[in-house]
């Protein structure tokens, strides 16, 4: 596969180069090249360095203008005058990179390459901020595949086509310039190295000085604020060089054991014991609602009907409060990471996703493992792609027995912008609960409320209409679309709780929004002014007393375990239930335990991670092939629990298939008679032909 890709891209680059040379030859035939201007470091060196300074200045001004385009059309200029030292520092970083071109004879070409690099970063950041509320980091490159899979959701086909065309044209022009760029003669490498070295030394000195004086910060509690205060270049560079949880200064076995003895009930007795007493406790359902908030929490709009009457009624009768999340406008996976593990995502490098790194390879104590030790069946569900945020790889490392993604669901309806409606989850949840004998822990991630939000009217007869207080029509339509989707999500919540009540099974359901929507919301227009807050409700049918409190997402699971009678189970949850959360050491000690479990020596568990990766199945319903029959020239596969994402495959290759029903698939491709017995049914990713799982006629999935 790699050789094919390498050959494919090689042919493309070869064709681009050939086309560029052809254009160049025709251009030169019509416009003969003039004798090159003589470039000599003895004469032009200083003026060229000054040119680099100007290039760095205007490039950085462009980057900051683009970064602040959603808040102020002259935001970059204001930043220059309001924070001159920070502006100078960021300019210095860009200038230092530009000085590298002094080492080359074709300085113009290498200068252009570096300028294009910074320009692309700035443009990417600006485009991202138009669609979400957190800036661009290097970790977004880990999400590139996921982002590309959503491109058609956020951008039209014309926009995507024009972008591709622009990239191709830019590559052609770049190749032409590489050929025609004049060369410098008598390059003074000594001067070049002195300039480069001096720039690096000055930049390093400024870094330490500005950090020491507080002009720059090293802790990014809020990524958006940090980029705004310290500039894009510093913000992007800082988030690029940091990763994981930094090693605590006092990290040692003695420190970890001291924390366990002082701030947990179980002390160093940390390993979970298998008890299988789940019937003494209720089902636990964690319902993470995509971008779900209340219209009443927005000060810049008004509605004629309450879009979320169910949720608002629940707030009156059950435990509720503000929910502090690590994400704003995007970053779903980090909110669910906090809820499931009890660890703050803010302990990691700014912009980092544990789901994209550490948790793909390493197990970690979680709510699922704790409940599993009591005999619970642990299941995850998501009405979107199973590959998104690597959930198919991460969930078994968090202790889940099954993961049912959209590829394993039927009867899916879509929103006008192409997301699955959450109503499909009701039957999925109830059927999963009915399929097990004991208690269940379900982690359910919804998707219906996802952006982008159209800036024109979509619903002709909406449940509720919106009035934008600033009179802006685009604001009206975006919010009107959003709150009406929230109404459908609210209806889903009501229907699900009604089904659970009817089942008679004792159950606790946590309902919360994973983050606010990407609607370019200002602090003054939302809730308490904190854009990292949503709301939560803890519903139950076991008679829990209403206890309202504002909570961090990483604290909620410890509260649930405590309230259902499973206090002090699991190290992080035990710590959060025992330690004084108002003490200055609370977060630092939790961070030390988190570092030890993920990056340290596992002193918490006696030196060895005790959690085994679960043998997770994809889909809780067993997919089965009953037979393969030939009618006419076509083969038909009969079986059980096929879905619209089921396809016939042969030795890993997905074949053309028509989904007819949950019990039948039609093969629309010719196969050799001897290969019929090798045919399999595969569940295929909803965006490409990636196979998630496969079965043959002798297996059940």
Backbone conformation region of residue 320, classed left if phi is above 0, alpha if psi is from -120 to 50, else beta: beta
225, exposed or middle or buried, with CB in 10 Å at 0-12, 13-18, 19+?
middle
pLDDT at 3: 59
Name, in order, each residue with C-beta under 8 angstroms of 660's C-beta and a sequence gap of 6 or more: 636, 666
Cα 569 to chain centroid, rounded = 29
CA distance 253 to 240: 30
pLDDT at 40: 57
CA distances (Å), origin 571, targets 217, 376, 400, 482, 563: 32, 19, 19, 39, 17
pLDDT at 38: 43
CA distances (Å), origin 14, targets 5, 113, 172: 14, 20, 11
Looking at residue 359, what DSSP letter applies?
G
Tally of CA atoms within 13 A in the half-sphere of 252 that contains its CB? 5
Token pair, residue 566, equals 């499973």
Would you say 415 and 423 are in contact if contact means Cβ atoms under 8 Å apart? no
CA distance 601 to 197: 39
CA triple 529-532-536, angle to 5 deg: 100
CA distance 392 to 685: 11
Give alpha helix (H) positions in 279-361. Answer: 309-317, 332-341
Residues in the chain: 701
Tally of CA atoms within 13 A in the half-sphere of 421 that contains its CB? 17
CA distance 159 to 526: 32
- Closest of 644, 649, 635 to residue 690, by C-alpha: 649
Looking at residue 526, what DSSP letter applies?
B
pLDDT at 39: 59
Please write down the HEC assignment for all residues of 375-429. Answer: CCEEEEEECCCCCHHHHHHHHHHHCCCEEECHHHCCCCCECCCCCECCCHHHHHH
Residue 363's φ and ψ, nearest 5 degrees, are -80, 160
Number of separate helices (H) and strands (E) present in the chain? 21, 19
Would you say 282 and 439 are in contact if contact means Cβ atoms under 8 Å apart? yes
Token pair, residue 148, equals 């590309």
CA distance 396 to 616: 6
Token pair, residue 553, equals 């997402």
Token pair, residue 565, equals 């009678």
Cα 396 to chain centroid, rounded = 19
Domains of the chain, start order: 16-241 (no CATH), 253-264+286-605 (3.40.720.10), 622-695 (2.60.40)
| CA-derived radius of gyration, the chain | 29
Name, in order, each residue with C-beta under 8 angstroms of 217's C-beta and a sequence gap of 6 or more: 211, 226, 229, 230
- Closest of 180, 178, 193, 202 to residue 45, by C-alpha: 193
Which strands form 402-404's sheet, in the order they lie side by side? Answer: 551-552, 319-324, 533-540, 507-513, 283-289, 440-445, 377-382, 402-404, 617-618
Token pair, residue 227, equals 């980029």
Instruction: Compute the Cα dihedral for 16, 18, 21, 22 and give only its sign.
Output: negative
Looking at residue 341, what DSSP letter applies?
H
Name, in order, each residue with C-beta under 8 angstroms of 632's C-beta and a sequence gap of 6 or more: none
Token pair, residue 468, equals 């934008």
Low-confidence ranges of the chain (pLDDT < 50): 35-36, 38, 701
CA distances (Å), origin 209, targets 225, 231, 239: 21, 16, 19
Q: Maximum CA pair distance of the chain?
A: 90
Token pair, residue 663, equals 């019990």
pLDDT at 109: 86
Token pair, residue 293, equals 């908030």
CA distance 642 to 682: 9
pLDDT at 411: 93
* Per-residue exposure over 525-552, b if at least 16 CB sit within 10 Å of its own CB, e if not: bbbeeebbbbbbbbbbbeebeeeeeebb
Q: What is the pLDDT of residues 275-284, one digit of tens each?
A: 999 999 999 9
250: how many CB neighbours lie within 10 A of its CB? 11
CA distance 655 to 643: 15
């Amino acid at each position: 596969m790699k050789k094919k890709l390498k050959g494919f891209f090689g042919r493309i680059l070869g064709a681009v180069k050939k086309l560029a040379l052809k254009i160049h030859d025709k251009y030169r035939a019509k416009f003969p090249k003039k004798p090159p201007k003589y470039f000599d470091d003895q004469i032009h060196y200083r003026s060229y360095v000054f040119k680099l300074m100007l290039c760095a200045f205007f490039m950085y001004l462009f980057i900051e203008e683009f970064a602040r385009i959603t808040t102020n059309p002259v935001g970059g200029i204001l930043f220059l005058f309001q924070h001159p030292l920070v502006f100078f520092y960021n300019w210095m970083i860009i200038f230092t990179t530009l000085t590298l071109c002094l080492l080359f004879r074709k300085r113009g070409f290498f200068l252009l390459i570096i300028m294009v690099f910074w320009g692309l970063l700035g443009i990417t950041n600006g485009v991202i901020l138009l669609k979400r509320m957190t800036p661009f980091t290097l970790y977004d490159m880990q999400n590139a595949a996921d982002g590309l899979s959503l491109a058609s959701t956020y951008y039209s086909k014309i926009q995507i086509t024009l972008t591709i065309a622009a990239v191709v044209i830019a590559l052609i022009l770049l190749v032409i310039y590489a050929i025609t760029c004049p060369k410098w003669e008598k390059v003074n490498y000594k001067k070049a190295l002195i300039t480069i070295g001096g720039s690096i030394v000055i930049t390093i000195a400024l870094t330490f000085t500005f950090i020491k004086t507080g002009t720059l910060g090293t802790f990014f509690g809020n990524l958006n604020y940090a980029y705004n205060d310290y500039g894009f270049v510093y913000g992007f560079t800082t988030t690029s060089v940091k990763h994981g949880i930094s090693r605590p200064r006092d990290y040692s076995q003695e420190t970890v054991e001291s924390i366990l003895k002082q701030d947990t009930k179980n002390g160093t007795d940390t390993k979970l014991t298998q008890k299988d007493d789940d019937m003494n406790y209720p089902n636990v359902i964690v319902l993470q609602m995509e971008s779900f908030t209340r219209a009443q929490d927005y000060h810049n709009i008004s509605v004629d009907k309450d879009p979320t009457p169910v949720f608002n009624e629940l707030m009156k009768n059950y435990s509720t409060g503000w929910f502090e999340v690590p994400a704003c406008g995007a970053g779903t996976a980090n909110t669910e990471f906090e809820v499931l593990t009890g660890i703050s995502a803010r302990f990691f490098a700014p912009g980092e996703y544990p789901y994209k790194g550490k948790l793909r390879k390493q197990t970690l104590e979680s709510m699922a493992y704790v409940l599993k030790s009591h005999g619970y069946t642990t299941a995850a569900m998501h009405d979107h792609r199973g590959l998104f945020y690597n959930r198919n790889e991460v969930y078994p490392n968090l202790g889940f027995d099954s993961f049912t993604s959209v590829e394993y669901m039927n009867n899916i309806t879509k929103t006008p912008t192409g997301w699955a409606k959450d109503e499909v989850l009701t039957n999925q949840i109830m059927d999963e609960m009915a399929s097990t004998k004991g208690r269940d822990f379900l982690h359910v991630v919804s998707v219906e409320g996802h952006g982008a939000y159209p800036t024109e009217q979509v619903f002709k007869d909406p449940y509720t209409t919106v009035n934008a207080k600033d009179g802006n029509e685009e604001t009206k339509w975006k919010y009107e679309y959003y709150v009406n989707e929230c109404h459908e999500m609210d209806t889903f919540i009501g229907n699900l709780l009604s089904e659970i009540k009817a089942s008679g099974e004792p159950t606790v359901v946590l309902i919360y929004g994973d983050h606010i929507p990407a609607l370019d919301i200002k602090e003054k227009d939302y809730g308490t002014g904190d854009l990292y807050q949503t709301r939560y409700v803890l519903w139950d049918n076991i008679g829990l007393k209403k206890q309202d409190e504002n909570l961090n997402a990483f604290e909620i699971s410890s509260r649930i375990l405590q309230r259902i009678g499973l206090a002090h189970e699991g190290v992080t949850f035990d710590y959060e239930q025992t330690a004084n959360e108002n003490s200055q050491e609370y977060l630092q000690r939790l961070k030390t335990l988190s570092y030890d479990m993920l990056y340290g020596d596992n002193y918490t568990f006696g030196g060895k991670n005790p959690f085994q990766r679960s043998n997770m199945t994809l889909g809780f319903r067993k997919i089965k092939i009953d037979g393969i029959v030939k009618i006419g020239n076509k083969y038909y596969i009969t079986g059980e629990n096929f879905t619209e994402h089921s396809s016939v495959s042969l030795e890993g290759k997905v074949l053309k298939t028509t989904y007819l029903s949950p019990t039948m698939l039609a093969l629309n491709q010719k196969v050799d008679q001897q290969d019929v017995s090798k045919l399999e049914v595969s569940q295929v990713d909803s965006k490409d032909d990636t196979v998630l799982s496969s079965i043959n006629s002798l297996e059940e999935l």
